[in-house]
Amino acid sequence: MEHTKSTRKFLIATHGRLAGGVKSSLDLITGAVDSIFLIEAYVDENRLIEDDIKAVIDQVGDHEELIVFSDIMGGSVTNQILQYARKSNVHIVSGFNLPLVIEIILADTNTSAPKVIAEAIENARQQIVYVTQILTTAKQEDYND
């Protein structure tokens, strides 16, 4: 199946202010990226997450893709987003880390979103390491040499 280039938009949706922190880090590392929406759920008790999600979805055309990053699989934010999972141009990634978000946002739009996401998830998993254990093992190996 051939993929045609499309415009990608992104939504970072989290409990509390995590989304804003991720966006701040993205701007610092990659420079300002357009077309990133943020939802910081439950920060303002007068805002409904359902309304915020719908407002973002309404800004995504049929010829555009929306890649959604949510913080917790099974959490209320992700559960609210799931009602849009059947839309062919909406891709939901839950349980993200910063390397994953960076890789997906900077990915070539000539590559299909599902392929970009699958590769980025695998790469992001490799970024989660217990550094102390690695250093301890290296010290023990040096001592044994």
Structural domain for 53, as ranges? 7-144
Q: Give the gyration radius of the chain's Cα atoms.
A: 18
What are 99-120's pLDDT values in tens digits? 999 999 999 999 999 999 999 9
Banded pLDDT at 3 (limits 50, 70, 90) = very low
Do 22 and 101 meet the contact criterion of CB atoms below 8 Å apart? yes
CB atoms within 10 A of CB 141: 9
Has residue 2 been placed in a domain? no
Inter-residue contact 66 to 60 (CB < 8 Å): yes
Residue 83 in domain: yes
Taking alpha carbons only, the member of 133, 103, 114, 26 closest to residue 65 is 114
Instruction: Specify whether the CB–CB gap between 31 and 58 falls below 8 A.
Output: no
The domain total for the chain is 1
Give the pLDDT confidence of 26-73 residue by residue, as tens digits.
Answer: 999 999 988 999 999 999 999 999 999 999 999 999 999 999 999 999
- Whether residue 78 is contained in a domain is answered as yes
Percentage of the chain exceeding pLDDT 70: 93
Q: Where are the beta strands (DSSP E) in the chain?
A: 7-15, 36-41, 64-70, 90-94
The residue behind tokens 């250093």 is 135
**Is residue 1 situated within a structural domain?**
no
- How many residues in the chain? 145
Looking up residue 112, the CATH number of its domain turns out to be 3.40.50.510
